[in-house]
Amino acid sequence: MNIIKYPKRSEWSIIVERPHLDVSQLNTTVQSVLEKIKNEGDAAVIEFESKFDHVNLQSLAVSKEEMDEAERLISDKLHHALVLAHHNIAKFHESQKFDGSKIETQPGVTCWQKSVPIQKVGLYIPGGTAPLFSTVLMLATPAKIAGCDEIVLCTPPNREGKVNPAILVAAKIAGVNKIYKAGGVQAIGAMAYGTESVPKVYKIFGPGNQYVMAAKQQVSLHDVAIDMPAGPSEVCVIADETSNPVFVAADLLSQAEHGTDSQVILITTSEDFLYKVNDEVKVQLEQLPRKEIASKALDNSKFVLVKDKEEAMELSNTYAPEHLILSTNDYDELSEKVINAGSVFLGQYACESAGDYASGTNHTLPTHGYALAYNGVNLDSYNRKVTFQHLTKEGVKNIGPAVEIMAENEQLIAHKNAMTVRLQALKNKAE
């Protein structure tokens, strides 16, 4: 852990830097895999599943028998937890439904918006070191509420060709239509281009490693929309002498165990508290099964001592964290100063894990500083807003001259003429 005390503002750019990866060779590999899937379909996906996931598949689709078997394999406690989480996620996202109203901008000119669901969406669910069945709920639940016709899910199988049963049960609870055994770049390619088995979708959602992220960004250039650009996961905790060092250390480590390229940042106004957390991190780290992963993530991480809360919030907004935890007694006051963050957790008891699993907010969030311009997945992510306008004769008279003048000055005479013929028709009729 890197400890930085009272940094000058000129040093902030170094503090907010994320771990850098050389992706030049990676992008070439991803491009070649995508090209082969585009040309060869299922055969290429099955070939890459053998090469990368070390499994020999006869078919890609998950069968009804496998879905039924999955329900018998998970515990009742986990099933109940999935149902509870799904209820809360659904309740929160239901509240985001759009109700467009008609606006008369001028007499006779009426404009409005209609929210239309994306017909076909693809969800990518990692299944490597941590099978993210929680992400199934986060992505599929709002897709179902939005009214997407086809919800396609791809996730890598194990070496026996089986998908993690909790992923399958979560998919059933959330209303996924079709599930396929495909991981990594080959899953993204299959959903972007379509194969004999996997339908082509219009937008792809979901996290993944650097290969998955590179694949999403490449297919987004020409073939399909994606939820957002993303990088490794991260958390920023703002704390002071009123905070609980045990809680804060646990929050930092819960993020650090995601991956070796994850990043955690503590910003505090108390030097004594900083060292208490530092000691507590060492104690809790020894108890973690993913200790080695978390340790490497801590190498990318920083504890920053600042002079006051104002500076703490300014530094956080500069960092634009995926997750921001305001672990202070004055969290209400500090929350008003949040500008750039993916998801914010307020107070001593709002751990990031709550949002990751069951509070109801979505855990698919912008990382790597993208919170400066992007928001996390929500109901709008699965919809498009289509605008409508209706003009009466009165509306044409009211805005027609302005349209003519503007079109003429942009030297788009056909545009001007489209309005001119209407104005002239009304004039002739009046005469």
Biggest alpha carbon distance in the chain?
90
- The response to whether 233 counts as a known ligand-binding position is yes
Whether 322 is catalytic:
yes
Q: Which residues pair with 264 in a beta bridge?
A: 235
* CA distances (Å), origin 34, targets 54, 102, 199, 214: 19, 44, 16, 11
Please tell me what DSSP assigns to residue 60.
S
What are residue 325's phi and psi, to 5 degrees? Answer: -110, 120
- The response to whether 381 counts as a known ligand-binding position is no
Q: How far apart, in whole angstroms, are the C-alpha atoms of residue 30 and residue 41?
A: 16
Q: Which helix (H) or strand (E) holds 15?
A: helix 12-15
Q: How far apart, in whole angstroms, are the C-alpha atoms of residue 331 and residue 345?
A: 9
- The response to whether 410 counts as a known ligand-binding position is yes
- The response to whether 65 counts as a known ligand-binding position is no
CB 297 within 8 A of CB 303: no
- The response to whether 284 counts as a known ligand-binding position is no
CB 125 within 8 A of CB 167: yes
Q: Which of 322, 336, 352, 404 is catalytic?
A: 322
- The response to whether 209 counts as a known ligand-binding position is yes
- The response to whether 415 counts as a known ligand-binding position is yes
Strands (E), 161-246: 178-181, 203-205, 225-226, 234-239
* R_g (Cα) of the chain, nearest Å: 26
Q: How far apart, in whole angstroms, are the C-alpha atoms of residue 60 and residue 47?
A: 11
Q: How far apart, in whole angstroms, are the C-alpha atoms of residue 346 and residue 93?
A: 20
CB 224 within 8 A of CB 191: yes
Q: Which token pair is 183?
A: 């991981």
Q: How far apart, in whole angstroms, are the C-alpha atoms of residue 77 and residue 84?
A: 11
Q: How far apart, in whole angstroms, are the C-alpha atoms of residue 6 and residue 298?
A: 20
Q: Which of 323, 336, 352, 363 is catalytic?
A: 323
Q: How far apart are the first and last CA of the chain?
A: 83
- The response to whether 390 counts as a known ligand-binding position is no
Q: Which token pair is 134?
A: 């929680």
- The response to whether 186 counts as a known ligand-binding position is yes
* β-sheet with 383-391: strand ranges across: 103-106, 109-117, 383-391
Q: Which residues are annotated as a binding site for Zn(2+)?
A: 255, 258, 356, 415
Which residues does the annotation mark as catalytic?
Answer: 322-323
Q: Which residues are annotated as a binding site for NAD(+)?
A: 124, 186, 209
Q: Which residues are annotated as a binding site?
A: 124, 186, 209, 233, 255, 258, 323, 356, 410, 415
Q: Which residues are annotated as a binding site for substrate?
A: 233, 255, 258, 323, 356, 410, 415
